[in-house]
Amino acid sequence: MTSFSNSTPAAQRLASLTSWDADWSGLRVVVAGIGVSGFAAADTLIELGARVVVVDASVTERAEAQADTLRIVGAEDVLLEPDAVARLPKVDGEWPELVVTSPGWRPDQAMLAEAERRDIPVWGDVELAWRVRTRRGKKTADWLAITGTNGKTTTVGMTESMLRAAGLTAVAVGNVGTPILDAIREPVEYDVFAVELSSFQLHWASSLSPVASVVLNVAEDHVDWHGSYEAYLADKAKVYENTQKACIYNAEQIETERMVEEADVVEGCRAVGFTTRTPAVSMLGVVEGLLVDRAFIEERRDHAAELGSLTDLGPVAPRHMVANALAAAALVRAYGVEPAAVKAGLQAYLPGDHRIQPVADIGGVAWVNDSKATNPHAAAASLSAFEHVVWIAGGLAKGVAYDQLVADQASRLRGVVLIGRDSSELAGALARHAQNVPVYRVDPGQTGGDQSAGAAVAGSDVMASAVRLAAEHAEPGDTVLMAPAAASMDQFDSYAHRGTAFVEAVHALARDEAGSGRDRGETTEE
């Protein structure tokens, strides 16, 4: 969030906007972006009585439909064209008093940079949501805040499940897909929000004060957006600022503990660690296959409260899944949830698609979709869960390095199938650290080089080719794992589209294999 003087009338007015019932009327606001977050922000501000201009470079059919809706509900203007984002627009002939940006917009984007030069503050949709969360006549939901390089969506889902098992009215919001602003405006009186926060969202926020917060883990990611790994870590650390009751940290990553040590928290806030090993006092951890709490009980020096078992996480409990469960448990225990509800919540939780998702077993080869593994840290956790892997990987690298990932995982690789328009960084790491592993390349020219509907179709063709290549080189007992360690937008609409393309390609392969078996007079089980 841009810093600015509080001495001007405009700054004083913005400082007073700390509830839904504050005087938002006539406030001149430019909203950057008309996607899910931007639309929610614009719609909320219009409802509050602000004068809103929305700007986006997108000219898609969906963007046009969103624009039409905002014009109908009272937007001053909606500007959709690539040139519109090159400069800061005026609102009814005057400079805006505030810019609210969608989280994906980089700080050095031309329009946002101009706002900073003009000393116009920039908020994100999360900052806006925090400021309007209190509304006369409606219960205010508490926030449990979750960030980290990997595991955010899984942890926020587990947290939601545990809260609901405790009988609380709770919902997962934020980067998980449901804008916080939409939940605030629902006619439901929520007790608590499980809030997933990306580093982008945290960059544009400064007023948050969650009941409890956690940084699950950190690894090099989004360096292109933040400018450096140090800047990325600094934005992640903001989740701990002003935390009220408990800052939860990963005891196996010293960086997260240091973030807590340096955070300016509410007086009395505790530091609570989680570990996949035996926990010390004031930690949650694992003892003989049980998840245990030595933090939120009175006799924690000599005892531990059982919260569940590894079997509650399903037939396979990779180490990172255990860590996510412990982090979620720490958050809800800080909120006052009893151990029995933690266990019930874990048992009720259903992992989402595209996260180490078993797809099929074809001829003794397991096919697994982990399209959500969009960086090396996530891919490492996924690869570590399997002994022999044909790895489908590649895409937008986001400025990260792959040497450590490949060096650590080379021994389990049977082969690698590279996708992505430019996977030269990953290819180089494989050449340096996995010389004996065969690498196969899917022709990147099949994508068409843009993000149009045509590119989406071509991306599906790329995945079908990758699946065929992997099938040719996988042996019984192997796992074909699609864990790209990269973003998807060079060939797919999203990681979900990439994962769906993989699932569809594997199912098509299974049908082909079944048909071949019938042609040879073999029988197959349905």
Written as one string, the DSSP assignment of 153-171 is HHHHHHHHHHHHHTT--EE
- Residue ending a domain, among 128, 151, 166, is 128
Residue 153 labeled ligand binder: yes
Mean of pLDDT values over 167-177 = 93
The candidate with the shortest Cα–Cα distance to 55, out of 29, 73, 80, is 80
Helix (H) or strand (E) holding 88: none
435 by Cβ neighbours in 10 Å (0-12 / 13-18 / 19+) ranks as exposed
Look up residue 57 and give its amino acid: A
* 339 and 379 together in one domain: no
Cα radius of gyration (the chain): 24
- The CATH number for 508's domain is 3.90.190.20
Q: Establish if 1 belongs to a structural domain.
A: no
Residue 148 labeled ligand binder: yes
C-beta separation of 84 from 90 below 8 A: no
Q: Establish if 133 belongs to a structural domain.
A: no
* 321 and 184 together in one domain: yes
Look up residue 525 and give its amino acid: E
Residue 524 labeled ligand binder: no
Diameter over CA atoms, the chain? 84
* 181 and 206 together in one domain: yes
* 398 and 484 together in one domain: yes
Q: Establish if 4 belongs to a structural domain.
A: no
* 185 and 151 together in one domain: yes
Rounded to two decimals, the pTM is 0.76
Q: How far is CA 236 from CA 111, 149, 256, in A?
A: 24, 9, 9
The candidate with the shortest Cα–Cα distance to 474, out of 418, 415, 410, is 415
Average pLDDT along the chain: 90
**Which region among 205-214, 275-284, 416-425, 515-524 has the lowest average model confidence (pLDDT)?**
515-524
Q: How many domains does the chain have?
A: 3
Residue 250 labeled ligand binder: no
- Residue ending a domain, among 91, 109, 128, is 128
* 307 and 420 together in one domain: no
Helix (H) or strand (E) holding 292: strand 290-293
Neighbours of 44 (CB within 10 A): 25
- The CATH number for 68's domain is 3.40.50.720
Residue 175 labeled ligand binder: no
* 113 and 148 together in one domain: no
* 75 and 218 together in one domain: no
* 377 and 481 together in one domain: yes
Q: What are the pLDDT digits (tens) for 246-295?
A: 999 999 999 999 999 999 999 999 999 999 999 999 999 999 999 999 99
* 321 and 396 together in one domain: no
CA-angle at 137, arms to 136 and 138, nearest 5° = 95
Residue 150 labeled ligand binder: yes
- Residue ending a domain, among 128, 150, 169, is 128
Q: How many residues does the chain have?
A: 526
Examine the pLDDT at 208 and tell me if it is beyond 60. yes
* 395 and 457 together in one domain: yes
* 163 and 118 together in one domain: no
Residue 154 labeled ligand binder: yes
Give the 3-state secondary structure of 2-36.
CCCCCCCHHHHHHHCCCCCCCCCCCCEEEEECCCH
Domain hosting 340: range is 138-348
Q: What are the pLDDT digits (tens) for 366-411?
A: 999 999 888 888 898 889 888 899 999 999 887 788 999 999 999 9
Strands (E), 15-149: 28-32, 51-56, 77-80, 98-101, 122-124, 142-147
Distance CA 26, CA 51 (A): 5
